[in-house]
Chains A and B, each alone.
Chain A
């Protein structure tokens, strides 16, 4: 039953371009990018117990590095992508050393502060980043000579990357290291007594999450062909965090559902009203009140209850 559903879903995702229009394909590509981003944030929030309000740093910095290298310095997309991901990962390692001096609220505040610094830099260093104007006129890469300019081509590209990212993060959380991370989240003192190094485990998870945040950033800049300091903003981090929490943190399906929900709301509601944030807020309020653990665990419980009741 599970396998049939998974196969059907996979077929639907692969064949989407054959029946969906451009608007829906572009929306789907954006959702896929948001899914990678939310999954990477969920490694920290859900599996590591480290709630971050600065995860957009990794998305934004990866996007800016790629944008600058390709547009200003004329680099090819291949080397630019490698340097962008490497740079973002190294930055995550440094940020981790700073942020992991604290846990809980302290950690949250440090990640927030660090991301605000980057956002400020992107605004102020206008001779490098073009400031509030952003960097327009970027191009998409051509992997194996295939142009990604059509919505369908980009969608498939994003789908492949997202599927790979999902698989890697799913293996990560079910691995020995994933168990160590969850253990450190639940009982850090006990884990230390058992021989685990809690700080090192959190730090490595932070770097890994930063790496996938960077991957999301690359896709983000490829999709929009434009980058603006807003991608580094707290609002961008908070939106992803809301998606993770609404979908169900600490689950694999949660961030997927949450990220899709945020983007759907944003796209549909913003067509009717400028104040779509209010609607987003109300929807989240509703979810948190009705399903405090998130949509995916909430629906799971509901299904279990219905099945149990019918017996």
Chain B
């Protein structure tokens, strides 16, 4: 499938999602350019993760539209979106704990390859997959742990495996849901430089509470509150905006 070209990597138009009477995202619209680094901020319960879940297809919006490089993906199953170049990480670490790091990253590679349907050939015969998985692990600095099961490694390393799985797919649009959550200062700077090194072919949209670190990575910022876009624009403009202070400082 060739997606229609568009000036936006990801477009969200009037997205609405309600759980019964509780409206979680109302009328959210975003337009993100290819290669952009977008930070999404807002207090707890502002609808940030719900927005991500709708973009990735884990939740269906009640109304509105989601476009990936101009192609309408609002009703596509999550796995079809992955094949169109969308990747995500989870706020709550979601890895295959009994498997090795190499196997976890290999699954990320396999997901987009036709060989995932192959039943007559052991996975270990695919040397190129293993090499590629190790290359990605090397890029996130975890090659020395490639043969260890995920259950053996530290929390901060698991966060990096989450990133590695998504990066292995060379996505056009990458959604990062609190990639710094729960990390120590050293781990934080490691993951930060990792995110900074993501190639420009990938558009990065990030939810993060740690402003000090995240603002350095962002070019543009969207502030959500009560399921609405409050301010949206260049980083410095959003930070300077009165409404941002209002939401965060309550003045």
Measured CB to CB, the residues of A under 8 A from B are: 171-172, 174-180, 182-183, 186-187, 189-198, 204, 208
Contacts and interface: CB of A to CB of B under 8 A. Distances in A.
Given A186-B97, A191-B107, A193-B56, 12 more contacts: A176-B115, A177-B117, A178-B123, A180-B110, A187-B96, A190-B94, A190-B96, A191-B111, A192-B78, A194-B79, A194-B82, A194-B108
A180 B124 contact: no
B122 A190 contact: no
B170 to A, nearest CB: 12
Contacts of B116: 176-177, 180, 195-196
Contacts of B98: 186
B79 A195 contact: yes
A175 B108 contact: no
Nearest to B83: A195
A176 B121 contact: yes
Nearest to B162: A190
11 contacts: A172-B120, A174-B122, A176-B126, A177-B118, A177-B119, A178-B119, A179-B106, A186-B97, A186-B98, A189-B58, A193-B82
Contacts of B112: 194-195
Given A176-B115, A183-B96, A186-B96, A194 B120 contact: no
A125 to B, nearest CB: 36
B159 interface: no
A175 B120 contact: yes
Nearest to A194: B111
A204 B56 CA distance: 25
A192 B77 contact: yes
B56 A176 contact: no
B69 interface: no
A190 B90 contact: yes
Given A192-B78, A193-B78, A193-B82, A179 B123 contact: yes
Contacts of A196: 79, 110-111, 116
B74 interface: no
B16 interface: no
A213 B122 CA distance: 22
Contacts of B107: 179-180, 183, 191, 194
B17 interface: no
Chain A interface, >50% SS class: helix
Interface in B111-147: 111-112, 115-124, 126
B111 A176 contact: no
A172 B122 CA distance: 7
B26 interface: no
Nearest to B122: A174
Interface in B50-67: 56-58
Contact of A176 (B88, B118, B169): B118
Contacts of A193: 56, 58, 78-79, 82, 87-88
A175 B96 contact: no
A189 B91 CA distance: 13
A172 B123 CA distance: 10
A174 B87 contact: no
A193 to B, nearest CB: 6
Contacts of B12: none
B82 A176 contact: no
Contact of A174 (B108, B111, B124): B124
Contact of B120 (A171, A179, A192, A195): A171
Closest 10 CB pairs of A and B: A195-B111, A194-B111, A195-B82, A192-B78, A177-B119, A174-B122, A176-B118, A190-B94, A192-B79, A195-B112
A194 B96 CA distance: 13
B94 A189 contact: yes
B103 interface: yes
B165 interface: yes
Contact of B123 (A175, A192, A194, A195): A175
Contacts of A208: 119
A195 B165 CA distance: 12
Given A189-B94, A194-B108, A196-B111, A171 B79 contact: no
Nearest to A175: B119
A128 B165 CA distance: 56
B87 to A, nearest CB: 7
A137 B234 CA distance: 84
- Most chain A CB neighbours (cut-off 10 Å) among B77, B88, B110, B124: B110
- Most chain A CB neighbours (cut-off 10 Å) among B57, B119, B124: B119
Contacts of A192: 57-58, 77-79, 82
A99 to B, nearest CB: 20
B119 A174 contact: no
A175 B3 CA distance: 32
Contacts of B124: 174
A82 to B, nearest CB: 20
Interface string B163-181: 0010001000000000000
Contacts of B79: 191-198
Contact of A171 (B108, B122, B126): B122
Interface in B211-229: none
Contacts of B108: 194
A175 B121 contact: yes
